[in-house]
Amino acid sequence: MILVFVETAAEGATEVSLETVTFARSLAERTGGPVHAVVVGALPEKLADELAAYGVAEVHHAVGEAFSAYAGAAWAAAVDAVRGDAGAVLAAGTPRGMEVLAHLAARLDVAMAANVVAIGTTEPLVVTRQPTVVTQSVVTQSTVVTRPIIIGQRHAYASMRVCRIHIV
């Protein structure tokens, strides 16, 4: 299973979360598992249908007083609670997504590869990374990483959008 922390707005999933779900789906196709999503806090009415259209097999919803307002550590605990045997945990590169995954990485005591633009192979896991400064020329490097790891994906947009993947 690949698990995606999905951020929402009143009308549904945010665009960058849908991009992350798409990335998760491509990774799941390579590793042979389903994509699940976790939503913390408010759950827009048609979110499950929207995510199903993007290939999400199951939506986990963390609800309760602890999740009524944003708190990175609490939301990371919710993601960890549904993580189970997930082969990877992803989130969009928004400030909230990065904070939740930073807390999750700290809970799991794992490393991170940031600004990943591609995953070459999954056995061994090879990632291609790109600089974070948008004005830099595009210079990439390939790195073999060991598990467990959190990988940050840099989307092709001018603004920085990073998702984190935890390979367990």
- Write down the pLDDT at residue 150: 53
* 132 part of a folded domain: no
**DSSP letter (8 states) at residue 153:** E
Q: Are 67 and 46 in contact (CB under 8 A)?
A: no
Rounded to whole angstroms, the Cα distance separating 156 from 90 reads: 17
Of residues 93, 68, 75, the one with CA closest to residue 38: 75
The CATH number of the domain where 43 resides is what?
3.40.50.620
- Write down the pLDDT at residue 108: 86
- Write down the pLDDT at residue 9: 94
160: containing domain: 2-112+148-167
pTM for this model (two decimals) = 0.79
Ranges of the chain with pLDDT below 70: 111-118, 124-125, 127-168
- Write down the pLDDT at residue 44: 92
Strand partners, 167: 149
Tally of domains within the chain: 1
Cβ count within 10 A of residue 55: 15
Cβ count within 10 A of residue 8: 17
Q: Is the dihedral of CA 150, 87, 91, 161 positive or negative?
A: positive
